[in-house]
């Protein structure tokens, strides 16, 4: 696996694959790899001639009081994991390489970017859309891979691709969960054992909501069931719980457990629309 830090390095590394019309896949990440990332890498490796991953903790998608400084970083471990999972080129730029001092452009997906996560984190999706568009322009992939755990992020990227006439194919890969149902997230590393136990309330509530929907109650029952369970859960603070169309009817929630904020979602059945 080749590791490059500069935009010029990426362009040079991809010159021959591009000339040979190879299929280039991109997995944008912020590092701290877990099985969710590795699943994206392996899928990209299987489906593309060249598998590229970016590793960049993007400051513009963090709010002023969020966890930018403490976000887990371990480049050496991540390099090994990415290589094992089939990544051919890892782009790990510095902040200065991505955002020169006079950087002043942003992309905003106005409606979809302002609900749910966007309502709680008003500048988040502007940062996400802007960095993803930059990465798409730098790597020029045929296909880009995102995890369904960030369902709203994937929907925001899909909207941006459509609105800005980009021809990149978007592949959204199902959520990877621990055996007890907790959705894998780099932020799970912040959880103390007792917090991790309390955090399970979110995936359990969403699963119960899905079952209520499937039992014939539709989205209303899904939301009411999940809400009841979250309201009675101890030691968590609910940020939001809602049904929204995120590439399909989706029951999505965010909770705080101690100082850690976690999100999760389930795709409800199409007929629940």
**Which residues bind to ligand PAF, rule: CB under 6 A?**
28-30, 58, 61, 128, 131-132, 150, 153
Return the number of the residue (43 or 61) whose C-beta is nearest ligand PAF.
61
Return the number of the residue (172 or 182) whose C-beta is nearest ligand PAF.
172
Least distance to ligand PAF, CB of residue 29, Å: 5
- Nearest residue to 272 via CA among 241, 246, 250, 242: 250
Q: What are phi and psi of 40, to 5 degrees?
A: -65, -45
Return the number of the residue (58 or 207) whose C-beta is nearest ligand PAF.
58
Task: Report the chain's C-alpha Rg in angstroms.
Answer: 19
Sheet of 260-267: strand order equals: 237-245, 249-257, 260-267
Least distance to ligand PAF, CB of residue 153, Å: 6
Catalytic residue among 26, 28, 36, 37: 37
Residue pair 44/145 in contact (Cβ under 8 Å)? The answer is yes
Least distance to ligand PAF, CB of residue 128, Å: 5
Q: Is 37 labeled as catalytic in the residue annotation?
A: yes
Least distance to ligand PAF, CB of residue 222, Å: 25
Residue pair 235/257 in contact (Cβ under 8 Å)? The answer is yes
Return the number of the residue (88 or 125) whose C-beta is nearest ligand PAF.
125
Three-point CA angle 153, 158, 160, nearest 5°: 95
Q: What are phi and psi of 169, to 5 degrees?
A: -80, 140
Please list the active-site residues: 37
């Amino acid at each position: 696996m080749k590791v490059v830090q500069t935009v010029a390095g990426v362009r040079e590394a991809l010159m021959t694959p591009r000339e040979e019309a190879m299929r280039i896949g991109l997995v944008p990440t912020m590092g701290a790899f877990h099985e969710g990332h590795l699943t994206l890498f392996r899928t990209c490796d299987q489906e593309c001639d060249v598998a590229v991953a970016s590793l960049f903790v993007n400051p513009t998608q963090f709010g002023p009081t969020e966890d930018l400084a403490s976000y887990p970083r371990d480049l050496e471990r991540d390099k090994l994991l990415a290589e094992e999972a089939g990544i051919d080129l890892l782009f790990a730029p510095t902040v200065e390489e991505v955002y020169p001092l006079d950087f002043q452009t942003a992309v905003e997906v106005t409606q979809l970017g302002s609900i749910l996560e966007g309502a709680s984190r008003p500048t988040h999706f502007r940062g996400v859309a802007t960095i993803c568009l930059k990465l798409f322009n730098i790597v020029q992939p045929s296909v880009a891979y995102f995890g369904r755990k960030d369902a709203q992020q994937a929907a925001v990227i899909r909207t941006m691709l459509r609105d800005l006439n980009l021809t990149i194919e978007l592949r959204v890969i199902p959520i990877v969960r621990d055996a007890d149902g907790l959705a894998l997230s780099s932020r799970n590393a912040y959880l103390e054992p007792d917090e991790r136990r309390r955090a399970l309330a979110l995936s359990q509530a969403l699963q119960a909501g899905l079952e209520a929907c499937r039992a014939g109650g539709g989205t209303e029952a899904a939301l009411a069931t999940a809400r009841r369970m979250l309201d009675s859960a101890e030691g968590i603070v609910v940020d939001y719980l809602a049904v929204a169309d995120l590439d399909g009817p989706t029951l999505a929630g965010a909770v705080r457990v101690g100082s850690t904020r976690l999100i999760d979602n389930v795709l409800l059945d199409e007929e629940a629309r």
